[in-house]
Amino acid sequence: MAHSIRSTAIVTLMQLHTPFSSPPEQQSSSHGPPALDLAAHLQLLLAPRFVVERELAGGAMSTVYLARDTSSRLPVAVKLIADPDPDERARFRREAAVTARLRHPNILPLLDAGEDPALIYLVTPFVNGGSLRDRLDRQGTLTAREAARILHALASALAHSHAHGIIHGDVKPENILLAGDHVLLADFGAARLLASTRHGTINRASGEHPAAASPTVGTPRYMSPEQALGDPHPDPRSDIYSLAVVGVELLTGRPPFSAPTTRAILLAHLSKPAPSLVTRTGVPLRLARILDTSLRKRPDDRPPSAAVVARELAPLLERPIIIPFGPALVVSRRGVAAGRRVGRLAGVVTAVSLSIATVAAALLLLVGLATPTPDGVRVARGGVDSAASDVVAPTSCGSTRIGDAVTAGSRGRAG
């Protein structure tokens, strides 16, 4: 769909209603309601489960309303298309059928969907944090750690989608929502089904064969080379390429390929090498290499799956732990849990070492008290003997002193 849904509380326990719920006959109109009555007409379709509160955003293709679930009192977003043409209805049905079957913490869930002759609508949680595009517009770039965190969440979401035979087809900042630190992949309107998958019945409810492909749709700046060529059957590595394009933009502030025309952008995806981030300051070598390999022109040269990308990104999420150990500082990247374990071990070792040192000192003290000062040995308070400085020496009074020198000789010579 054309609009990113901006949302706030994420509903995780709501049950999905059956998509395409049929409204009462008296609510339908063959010519559609007047524009000013759109919200009222939508309310008739949503009642009694949701109450429409106000319009959030409007565009040429869709309008987004804020509504509220009457049971949970949680806010929801309702994306509506008025007077849809057959292509829009087909895309809507595909998005609803696909999204309703995906349950993943980093995928925006579908709560309800419906249509009548006048309009079609999708209901999703309302996410108040805006889109990744909004954040990039404010900040320009993100830190490598923040970029890796977002990319890892998206790779995990894509791995789940691909496991269900669904190619997202339009991974871009506008379709990535942020709820605090939580990342949500949204808008499966451009989704395509893998030509061969065990989840082959996913689109039969809409009358479409699982292997059928819609015309190529997507956003040129984020398209894979195979999308640019109009490949009717892209595989998961197409989404991996688009994800890497997003990654480059997060770190540099712009996608790897920009041009004044759509044709020029698509040609760049097909023929120009993507700029490498290996030498870019502030980008870990591991992250740069993941993005470089994911942006290769041939799908066979990219990581084989989004799950592999997520696994490769995971070490970048671990925080460095500084552990004091002896005179040096040991820096560990094992993560918070590992750091705590090592820290506890260091504490135990330190406690044992202190105990041993205390026992040794006590033994030396006892030995010093029990041993009489031999004749011919005195403590030279004024001088330092080079061979015996900084040692513990027994004195004639039975005490010990650190740092005094012991000088051997007869009392006659010392006198």
Spatial separation of the C-alpha atoms in residues 335 and 351, rounded to whole Å: 24
Residue 360 CB partners (closer than 8 Å, separation 6+): none
pLDDT of residue 348: 55
pLDDT digits (tens, 9 = 90+) for 284-307: 999 999 999 999 999 999 999 999
pLDDT of residue 218: 81
Q: Which residue type sits at 276? A: S
pLDDT band at 387; cut points 50, 70, 90: very low
Tell me: domain 132-317, CATH 1.10.510.10, correct?
Answer: yes
Indicate if the pLDDT at residue 11 is higher than 50: no
pLDDT digits (tens, 9 = 90+) for 70-82: 999 999 999 998 8
pLDDT of residue 28: 41
Burial grade of 194 (CB within 10 A; 0-12, 13-18, 19 or more): buried
pLDDT band at 354; cut points 50, 70, 90: low
Spatial separation of the C-alpha atoms in residues 212 and 345, rounded to whole Å: 59
318 is written with which tokens?
Answer: 């671990």
Indicate if the pLDDT at residue 249 is higher than 60: yes
Residue 294: CB atoms within 10 A of its CB come to 27
The DSSP-derived string for 227-247 is HHTT-SS--HHHHHHHHHHHH
- Out of 11-25, 56-70, 344-358, 371-385, least confident range: 11-25
| CA distance from start to end of the chain | 104
pLDDT digits (tens, 9 = 90+) for 101-149: 899 999 999 999 999 888 999 999 999 889 999 999 999 999 999 999 9
Asked if omega into 105 is within 30° of 0 (cis), the reply is no
- Out of 104-108, 123-127, 165-169, 395-399, least confident range: 395-399
Domain 25-125 CATH superfamily:
Phosphorylase Kinase; domain 1 (3.30.200.20)
Q: What number is the average pLDDT over the span 88-107?
A: 90
pLDDT of residue 357: 65
Residue of 239 and 335 predicted with greater confidence:
239
Task: Give yes or no for a contact between 110 and 97, defined as CB atoms under 8 angstroms apart.
Answer: no
If you average pLDDT over every residue of the chain, what do you get?
Answer: 75
Which sequence spans correspond to the domains of the chain? 25-125, 132-317, 324-369, 371-414
Indicate if the pLDDT at residue 265 is higher than 90: yes
Spatial separation of the C-alpha atoms in residues 66 and 57, rounded to whole Å: 9
pLDDT digits (tens, 9 = 90+) for 321-351: 343 433 333 333 444 444 445 455 555 555 6
Spatial separation of the C-alpha atoms in residues 219 and 249, rounded to whole Å: 14
State what percent of residues in the chain have pLDDT above 90: 47
Q: Which residue type sits at 117? A: P
* Residue positions annotated with a catalytic role: 170
Residues in the chain: 415
pLDDT band at 93; cut points 50, 70, 90: confident
Torsion angle, CA of 45/49/53/59, rounded to 10 degrees? -50
Task: Give yes or no for a contact between 126 and 76, defined as CB atoms under 8 angstroms apart.
Answer: yes
pLDDT band at 39; cut points 50, 70, 90: confident
